[in-house]
Amino acid sequence: MNDLEQRTSDFAVSVRWFIKSLPQTLANYEDVRQLIKSSGSICANYIESNEALSKRDRMMRLKISRKEAKETTFWISTILKSNDLSSSIAQPGESLLREANELRNILSVIIIKTETKDKP
């Protein structure tokens, strides 16, 4: 497993731990379902990009991974804004929000470099 695979995997696990600390409300239930899917998909699609069958397949998986990172920032942000959380719960959520943004930025750089490298 490479460093970014490990980092995205660790992120998905951290999101799941964060979720356990949230109040159990109907809104959180729905938001959390989406957050679980998108945070796990960052890692799953990045791993698949490394096992891609073609350059086009790799690029598609990288872009999906980046899209899922962006969606993850939305769900974390929504959860943080729509709950009155103690700082002991909000701070880990804010750290996860920063990490999701960093992952999105890293994936963007990989995509740009891959596209530049593949141009004739």
pLDDT tens digits for range 54-113: 999 999 999 999 999 999 999 999 999 999 999 999 999 999 999 999 999 999 999 999
Indicate if the pLDDT at residue 119 is higher than 80.
no
Q: What is the pLDDT of residue 120?
A: 64
pTM of the predicted protein model: 0.93
Q: What is the pLDDT of residue 85?
A: 94
CATH number at residue 30: 1.20.1440.60
- The whole domain housing 39 covers 3-118
DSSP 13-46: HHHHHHHHTS---HHHHHHHHHHHHHHHHHHHHH
Task: Please count the structural domains in the chain.
Answer: 1
